[in-house]
Structure 1
Amino acid sequence: MTVFVPGMLPEEYETLRRTVATFTDGEVAPVSAQLDAKHEFPYALVEQMGDMGLFGLPFPEEYGGMGGDYFALCLALEEIARENQSLAMTLEAGVSLGAMPIFRFGTDAQKQELLPHVIDGRGLAAFGLTEAEAGSDAGGTKTKAVLENGEWVVNGSKSFITNSGTDITKFVTATAVTGTRTGSDGSRKPEISTIIVPNGTPGFTPEPAYDKVGWNSSDTHPLTFDGVRVPEANLLGERGRGYANFLRILDEGRIAIAAVSVGAAQGCVDASVQYAKERTAFGKPIGDYQGISFKIARMEARVQSARAAYYAAASKMESGLPFKKEAAIAKMVASEAAMDNARDATQVHGGYGFMNESLVARHYRDSKILEIGEGTTEVQLMLIARDLGL
């Protein structure tokens, strides 16, 4: 069994981690506040990440990938998220939610045609699952796709879709009801399949971007499908398996979100340690006071615990073992650590921590969604309890 241990990474992983850390400190950190303030998508940084091979980390070389694995992607996400959660989520959604469904469930022709264009950083893909009335209850999908004369005709809408409206978005994989099936209890249930919709297809419209609390330089739109027609060959995976397939994608994605959360939590620790050493009050650094030092110590404990949780989940995943419960635990523990650390880091920084240009203020605004996206905390608790037979 593959086992990843914090602080004891094999050389190839440690080299990757250091490389991405250098990129984050040298290229990402200096421009993150400006990108956030302007709500500007980081095209130049995305291109640089493509040149570094980050979008291709878990994919085979035959598709232009790096031949690595999912854990390598998580290490990159953690390092980037220390400084910029929006950029980390652009990478996470582009790989885990955008390209991975094609790799996991696509035909050879779909892989050869689509993957090279979204794992080089010159193109992005999006994952169209959530709807206004189908978030945690993704089985409540209302978007429909009907097969007519060799084409899928798609009608409906999606909500909160990352990477869906950029200038380099190539396609969206969207779940849609394609019919009904008889369940084991004899009831009729919706048949949910997945359809690939290229950007620019008539009738496919990314609506105006959301005005969000955080993740301001990440691209997020509602989508409308109005009589969208695509070839029958754009079915992704087996007909009727769309919902089940995306549940697998979400299980993997929760490990990636945990990695982003750990990066955010670590960024709060790093900023707080530095500030506590530099800021003085009553004649000495504020870090000399237990009220501050103990708070930061608890922040560090959260980071270490959350990192161990996502490493454990990734270890089981890369070993081919069931990992649903471990992914849920990692996602819940890490996202709560990110939010708790952001709150405490803001307190350590005082008034400066309440200024939007500060790193901890960005993490304070950004981290809340980590407890919601790709499965709320309540959904993770449900999955954990279910695994326990409850």
Structure 2
Amino acid sequence: MTVDRLLPTPEAHDLLDLTTELATRELAGKVDDFEARGEFPRDVLRTLGRSGLLGLPYPEDVGGAAQPYEVYVQVLEILAGTWLGIAEAVSVHTLSCFPVAEFGTGKQRAMLPEMVGGELLGAYALSEPHGGSDAAGLTTKAVADGDDFLVTGTKAWITHAGQADFYNIFCRTGGPGPRGISCLLADAGTPGLMPQSPERLMGLRSSAPAQIVLEDARIPRDRLVGEENQGFTIAMRALDAGRLGIAACAVGLAQSAVDYATAYAKEREQFGKPIAQFQGIGFMLADMATGVSAARALLLNAARLKDAGRPFSIEAAKAKLFATDMAMKVTTDAVQVLGGAGYVADHPVERWFREAKVLQIVEGTNQIQRLVIARSMTG
């Protein structure tokens, strides 16, 4: 189905047309093979970078496209509708560029053209094996050693681990709690920085995360992003925007599930007529389509608030919460519409069903989103 979109400029229409073309030409024919083999599509990301899709929200003077988030999230939606692993990789890479773009020194910002152009792929190393939702309790420690920091600890669930060219390492440089955390920009070749084997996932296998073990990893002091002990603020600011990316991925995934289930229901006949004509199926499809539209509206509202420079973090939490819960329900229903056929790998709905689950977990679990929203309401 073609989505009727209201876009701010003719340039935005052209950009979404380009994204649709790239998704058709570069992604659609590769996704099943890469997912089956669990291979990370690095060359595909380079192609997207050279097409300008890895630096969309960043300024033109650092190699970005200066696009509003309203447009950027719709690009992610289109990519996710074809290959969630690619859309999630673009979202994580965009998130990984944020600390340097917003808080970096002049020397650090000189790296941005290669970052946002996709020649350098980024990773965001915040979570730890015993500290996922409790980011303020992280234990990875950085100790000053002359002009360097020596960093020791373990990071977990790191997208692009072992593939990235640079890592945002959030580590403890001060006392306990959020005020003792700093952000260090580490090159992939940093001695003592050791990516581990990728996790074995139920879905999103072409972009599996991994742990990163740091053993006295020596990172120069001039790679400190922002002020010392400012890292938690940087991390939370980045995640506000990152949640919009994950919500966009959920909307794109769910839209494809609606489209596929609808097309199947119009062709599949039982009792002498297409199953789409039975009220039980028709009402299910109607609810699925309505959920996608509602999630898209929440997402675009939050993105437009960000573009206007207004507070958007609570609306981003709402969008992430609703969109990802919706995607889980819609993909579940899509499998049900197909019946037994939905449970076999011949149809993509079983993959979308498996992939939707992770969106309820990454960039802050949906329980954390509810906590954030509730606290904003109750003080």
Bin of the TM-score, shorter chain as denominator length = over 0.9
Answering whether residue 206 of structure 2 is matched by residue 208 of structure 1, we say: no
Cα 1:120–1:357 shift into 2, 3 Å: farther
Matches within 5 A, 1:228-243: 228-243=217-232
The answer to whether the aligner puts 1:172 opposite 2:180 as a matched pair is no
Secondary structure of the 2:174 match is strand
TM-score (norm 1): 0.93
Q: Distance in 1 between matches of 2:366 and 2:354?
A: 18
Aligned partner of residue 30 in structure 1, secondary structure: coil
Which is further off, 276-285 or 368-377? 276-285
Query: Which blocks of at least 5 consecutive residues in structure 2 are unaligned?
Result: none
Matching of residues 90-169 of structure 1 within 5 Å: 90-96=89-95, 98-112=96-110, 114-166=111-163, 169=164
Query: Offset at 1:6?
Result: 7.0
Distance 1:206 1:345 in 2: 37
Aligned to 1:23: 22
- How far apart are residue 86 of structure 1 and its match? 0.7
**Counterparts of 2:115 and 2:352 in 1: how far apart (Å)?**
28
What's the Cα RMSD here?
1.6
Counterpart of 1:35, as a letter, is: F
SS, match of residue 227 in structure 1:
strand
**Structure 1 partner of 2:366:** 377
Deviation digits for residues 290-332 of structure 1 (CA, Å, limit 9, x no counterpart):
1111111100000000000000101111111111110010000
Partner of 1:185 in structure 2?
none
**Deviation (angstroms), 1:170:** 1.1
Matches within 5 A, 1:252-271: 252-271=241-260
Which sits farther off after the overlay, 30-39 or 355-364?
355-364
Residues of 2 paired with 1:92 and 1:43: CA distance? Answer: 14
Whole-angstrom distance in 2 between the partners of 1:126 and 1:324: 22
- Which of residues 288, 303, 306 in structure 1 aligns to 2:295? 306
Letter in 2 for 1:159: A
Offset at 1:190? 5.7
1:274-313 to structure 2, matched below 5 A, reads 274-313=263-302
Residue type at the aligned position of 2:97: A
Contiguous gaps of at least 5 residues in structure 1: 182-187
Aligned to 2:83: 84
- For residue 8 of structure 1, what is the aligned residue in structure 2? 6
Check 1:189–1:27 CA distance in 2 against 1; reply closer, same or farther (3 A cut).
closer
Q: Which amino acid aligns with 2:6?
A: M
The equivalent of 1:73 in structure 2 is 72
SS of match in other structure, 2:28:
helix
TM-score with structure 2 length normalisation?
0.96
In structure 2, C-alpha distance between the alignment counterparts of 1:323 and 1:189, rounded to whole Å = 21
Assess if the C-alpha contact under 8 Å between 1:205 and 1:223 holds in 2: yes
Partners of 2:346 and 2:142 lie apart in 1 by: 45
Question: Is the CA contact (8 Å cut-off) linking 1:118 and 1:170 kept in structure 2?
Answer: no
AA matched with 2:167: V
1:165–1:206 contact (8 Å) kept in structure 2:
yes
The residue aligned with 1:184 is: none
CA–CA distance in structure 2, aligned partners of residues 350 and 223 of structure 1? 41
Instruction: Confirm or deny: 8 A CA contact 2:201 2:208 kept in the other structure.
Output: no
Q: Partners in 1 of 2:47 and 2:275 — Cα distance?
A: 38
User: Can you list the C-alpha shifts for 1:180-230, whole angstroms capped at 9, x where unaligned?
Assistant: 27xxxxxx8761101111101111000011001111111411000001111
Give 2:174's aligned amino acid.
G
Q: Distance in 1 between matches of 2:178 and 2:230?
A: 13
Q: Give the secondary-structure state (helix, strand or coil) at the position aligned to 1:55.
A: coil
Determine if contact 1:196/1:234 at 8 Å carries over to the other structure.
yes
Question: Which residue identity does 1:329 align to in structure 2?
Answer: K
SS in 2 for 1:375: coil
Distance 1:189 1:36, change over 3 A: closer
CA drift at 1:122: 2.4
Change (3 A) 1:322 1:190: closer
Cα-to-partner distance string for 1:350-388 (whole Å, 9 max, x where unaligned): 222112342211110101111111111111111111111
> How many residues align structurally?
376
- Measured in 1, the distance between the counterparts of 2:275 and 2:296 equals 27
Q: Cα offset for 1:7? A: 2.9
In structure 2, which of residues 303, 316, 326 is the aligned counterpart of residue 337 of structure 1?
A: 326
Q: State whether residues 81 and 252 of structure 2, in contact with CA within 8 Å, keep that contact through their aligned partners in structure 1.
A: yes
Give the Cα–Cα distance (whole angstroms) in 1 for the partners of residues 156 and 85 of structure 2.
18
Contact kept in structure 2, 1:127 and 1:173, CA below 8 Å: yes
Shift of residue 101, structure 1, vs aligned partner: 1.5
Paired with 2:267 and 2:47, the residues of 1 have a C-alpha distance of 33
Percent identity between matched residues is 37
1:162 positional shift: 0.5
Determine the C-alpha separation between the residues in 2 that align with 1:99 and 1:191.
22
The structure whose RCO (Cα within 8 Å, separation 6+) is larger is 1
Confirm or deny: 8 A CA contact 1:36 1:216 kept in the other structure: yes
Is the partner of 2:153 in helix, strand or coil? strand
Q: SS in structure 2 opposite 1:56?
A: coil
Could you say which residue in structure 1 is the equivalent of 2:340?
Answer: 351
